[in-house]
């Protein structure tokens, strides 16, 4: 049991370190948020000006913006260490690999929640969505989606951290894996905003939760192999 | 295009593709075997002063 | 060699199955001649999934045993899997156009899952190619391959659910509207094509595996050559016995 507590302590320490680095590097964080907002704006130009079409497409566009912003976010969280060679330093410590992974994923989760939370009102304004009454299911969807994205993103950021062409390899490897999450999150968001007329919200949230569990386990189990040598 | 056209397109690309891939595999294999032989000949002809483990 | 014989038998088998499927089996009552596309399409799809299964198992095996032969099997499975997946998608599109009227149908869960499969494993191959360090490559690729494999059942279920909860006409895969006029021959054609393709697949896997092994040996040799060249350079000033210097 103490081993578990030690792991949790390590994970928390790493998450805190990353979160502090994020807060200090405010320009990078802010730029990413601004980029995601810009993407939403651009979608308006691409699919508008018919507001009805935009309102219908809003859940999908929201999650696409979250995905694009998220790609930059998870890449940034790993770049902090990579640039200083700190990742190898971290790997030399006798800590459980999964603790490192979970710590970084936790930091990623925080960043994704901030991203999603800020994009929601932007979507509401740009695409004429009424968020009233849908807060709880929306937040649940956002949290479950963010967990899954952070789990997958942390893993693939670790995979691509020192590769050639990593800017393209991260999305290239990640996006097919994230497709079920995107699909489920959009469906859940749509259901939440529409008052869940077919009672499908629960199923989609379950799918998201299942995805999260599987990916967290897979990531924790394999992250260690990425740090070796 | 009538249905027959699609059937021909399907079989043609799939079977043709198998053939093309097989031939490229043969080529890669033969070029790599050649390179391997060449290296072995060089190694036998002039053994390095220290033997790498 | 036995492998060559395997290839020849596979080739003959494919030719025979093709002739049978195209000219002997009567046309489908619902879909007409378009249904004949199903034989190579289904065979390709089976072998695609099978190949990736091999890659997944070989990846796990490599992380466990660290035997590079398993890494060679993994890359063979991925490359050949990508080929067969591309064929499966092409076949699906050629079959879909006469049956649905369109080349692509988002409500066909198999088509969309297979497209994601292609994306996952093209990514795997690109990752291998862009990873410079050969010692790391095998382990990292194994990890990427395992996570990709883990994703596939999730994709399958979510896409099925996606289609199922959608309120609309159930379109789905073309084989739902089949009506073979000679069911016995239909099955023979299908099984025959799958069997013939499997032989060809096995032949290609063996060859691709051999290629991977020799490529690795050459790479290793190049790497060792650079190490010994560096050692030689380092041991020259001392003039001592290079054999002793490690």
pLDDT tens digits, one per residue of A186-207: 999 999 998 888 888 999 999 9
Cβ–Cβ gap C204/B33 under 8 Å: no
Answer yes or no: is C23 within a domain: no
Rg (CA), chain C: 23
Q: How many domains does chain C have?
A: 1
Contact (CB, 8 A) for A157 and A74: yes
List Cα–Cα distances, C25 to A156, C38, C62, C187, C192, in angstroms: 48, 12, 45, 10, 12
Provide CB contacts within 8 A for B15, sequence distance 6+. Answer: C14, C18, C40
Note the Cα C133 to chain centre separation in Å: 24
Question: Residue C201 burial by CB count (10 A; 0-12/13-18/19+): exposed, middle or buried?
Answer: buried
* DSSP E strands, chain A: none
> Cα–Cα–Cα angle for C173, C115, C45, nearest 5°?
60
| C170 half-sphere exposure, CB direction, 13 A CA radius | 7
pLDDT per position as a tens digit, A8-38: 888 888 888 888 888 887 778 889 999 999 9
Comparing C244 with C127, the larger pLDDT belongs to C127
Whether the predicted pLDDT of A70 surpasses 50: yes
Answer yes or no: is C173 within a domain: no
Residue position matching structure tokens 């036995």: C2
Between positions 81 and 110 of C, the ones with CB within 8 A of B are: 83, 86-87, 90-91, 94-95, 97-98
Nearest Cα of chain C lies from the Cα of A23 at a distance, in angstroms, of 31
Nearest Cα of chain B lies from the Cα of C151 at a distance, in angstroms, of 27
Closest chain B residue to C243 measured between Cα atoms? Answer: B50
Nearest Cα of chain B lies from the Cα of C211 at a distance, in angstroms, of 5
Neighbours of A172 (CB within 10 A): 18
- Taking Cα atoms as reference points, which of C41, C213, A210 lies closest to residue B17? C41
Strand partners, C28: C32
| Tokens (6 digits) for A55 | 């309102």
Between positions 3 and 32 of C, the ones with CB within 8 A of B are: 7, 14, 18, 22, 32
Question: Residue A114 burial by CB count (10 A; 0-12/13-18/19+): exposed, middle or buried?
Answer: middle
- Interface of chain C toward chain A, CB-CB under 8 angstroms: 63, 116, 119-120, 123, 126-127, 130-133, 135-136, 139-140, 142-144, 146-148, 150-151, 154-155, 157-159, 161-162, 165, 167
Residue position matching structure tokens 């995601």: A36
pLDDT per position as a tens digit, A74-124: 998 888 777 667 767 777 777 788 888 999 999 999 999 999 999 999 999
pLDDT on residue A218: 95
Phi and psi torsions of B51, nearest 5°: -85, 120
Nearest Cα of chain B lies from the Cα of C167 at a distance, in angstroms, of 30
Identify the band that residue B16 occupies on the pLDDT scale cut at 50, 70 and 90. very high
Lowest mean pLDDT among A2-11, A39-48, B41-50, C86-95: B41-50
Q: C132 is in which domain, residue-wise?
A: 37-164+181-224
| DSSP assignments along B6-26, one per residue | HHHHHHHHHHHHHHHHHHHHH
Contacts of A229 in chain C (CB under 8 A): 133, 135-136, 139
pLDDT on residue C197: 97
Separation CA C31–CA A83 (nearest Å): 59
Contacts of A225 in chain C (CB under 8 A): 63, 139-140, 142-143
Cβ–Cβ gap C228/B21 under 8 Å: no
Nearest Cβ partner for B9 among C83, C94, C218: C94
Nearest Cβ partner for C136 among A177, A200, A229: A229
Separation CA C110–CA C116 (nearest Å): 10
Answer yes or no: is C7 within a domain: no
pLDDT on residue B52: 53
Contacts of A218 in chain C (CB under 8 A): 146-147, 150
Whether the predicted pLDDT of A2 surpasses 80: no
Contacts of A163 in chain C (CB under 8 A): 127, 130-131
Sign, CA torsion C28/C31/C34/C40: negative
pLDDT per position as a tens digit, C223-233: 777 777 788 78
pLDDT per position as a tens digit, C209-228: 999 999 988 888 877 777 77
Contact (CB, 8 A) for C30 and C177: yes
- What's this model's pTM, rounded to 2 decimal places? 0.88
Comparing A76 with B24, the larger pLDDT belongs to B24
List Cα–Cα distances, A72 to A29, A30, A154, B35, C86, in angstroms: 9, 11, 11, 43, 30
Nearest Cα of chain C lies from the Cα of B44 at a distance, in angstroms, of 13
Sign, CA torsion A16/A19/A21/A24: negative
Answer yes or no: is C243 within a domain: no
Average pLDDT, stretch A139-157?
Answer: 96
Cβ–Cβ contact C36 with B under 8 A: yes
Contact (CB, 8 A) for C173 and C100: no
Q: Do chains A and C touch (3 or more CB pairs under 8 A)?
A: yes
Taking phi over 0 as left and psi of -120 to 50 as alpha, with beta for the rest, C27 belongs to beta
């Amino acid at each position: 049991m103490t081993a578990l507590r030690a792991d949790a302590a390590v994970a928390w320490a790493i998450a805190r370190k990353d979160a502090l680095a994020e807060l200090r590097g405010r320009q990078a964080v802010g730029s990413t948020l601004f980029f995601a907002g810009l993407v939403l704006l651009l979608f308006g130009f691409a699919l508008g000006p018919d507001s009805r079409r935009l309102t219908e497409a809003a859940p999908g566009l929201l999650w696409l913006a979250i995905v694009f912003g998220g790609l930059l976010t998870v890449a940034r969280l790993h770049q902090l260490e990579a640039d200083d060679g700190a990742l190898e330093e971290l790997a030399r410590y006798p800590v459980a690999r999964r603790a490192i992974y979970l710590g970084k994923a936790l930091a990623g989760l925080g960043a994704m929640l901030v991203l999603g939370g800020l994009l929601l009102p932007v979507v509401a304004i740009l695409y004429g969505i009424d968020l009233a009454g849908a807060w709880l299911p929306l937040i649940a969807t956002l949290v479950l989606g963010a967990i899954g994205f952070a789990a997958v993103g942390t893993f693939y950021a670790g995979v691509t951290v020192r590769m050639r062409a990593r800017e393209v390899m991260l999305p290239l490897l990640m996006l097919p894996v994230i497709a079920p999450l995107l699909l489920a999150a959009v469906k859940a968001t749509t259901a939440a905003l529409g008052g869940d007329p077919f009672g499908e919200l629960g199923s989609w949230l379950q799918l998201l939760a299942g995805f999260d569990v599987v990916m967290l386990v897979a990531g924790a189990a394999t992250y260690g192999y990425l740090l070796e040598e | 295009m009538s249905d027959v056209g699609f059937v021909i397109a399907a079989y043609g690309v799939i079977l043709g593709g198998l053939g093309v891939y097989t031939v490229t595999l043969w080529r890669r294999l033969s070029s790599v075997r050649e390179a391997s032989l060449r290296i072995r000949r060089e190694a036998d002809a002039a053994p390095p002063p220290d033997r790498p483990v | 060699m036995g492998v060559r014989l395997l290839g020849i038998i596979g080739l003959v088998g494919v030719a025979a199955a093709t002739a049978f499927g195209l000219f002997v089996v009567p046309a489908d009552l619902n879909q007409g001649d378009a249904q004949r596309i199903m034989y190579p399409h289904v065979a390709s799809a089976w072998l695609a999934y099978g190949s990736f299964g091999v890659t997944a198992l070989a990846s796990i095996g490599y992380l466990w045993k660290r035997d590079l032969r398993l890494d060679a099997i993994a890359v063979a499975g991925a490359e050949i899997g990508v080929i067969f997946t591309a064929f499966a998608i092409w076949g699906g599109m050629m079959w879909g156009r006469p049956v649905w009227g369109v080349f692509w149908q988002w409500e066909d869960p198999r088509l969309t899952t297979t497209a994601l499969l292609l994306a996952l494993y093209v990514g795997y191959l690109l990752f291998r190619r862009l990873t410079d360090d050969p010692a790391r490559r095998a382990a990292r690729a194994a990890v990427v391959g395992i996570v990709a494999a883990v994703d596939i059942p999730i994709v399958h279920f979510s896409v099925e659910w996606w289609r199922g909860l959608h309120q609309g006409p159930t379109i789905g895969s073309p084989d739902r509207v089949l009506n073979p006029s000679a069911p016995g021959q239909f099955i023979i054609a299908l099984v025959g094509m799958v069997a013939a393709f499997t032989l060809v697949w096995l032949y290609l896997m063996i060859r691709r595996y051999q290629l991977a092994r020799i490529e690795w040996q050459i790479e290793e040799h190049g790497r060792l050559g650079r190490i010994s060249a560096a050692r030689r350079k380092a041991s020259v000033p001392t003039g001592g016995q290079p054999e002793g210097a490690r």
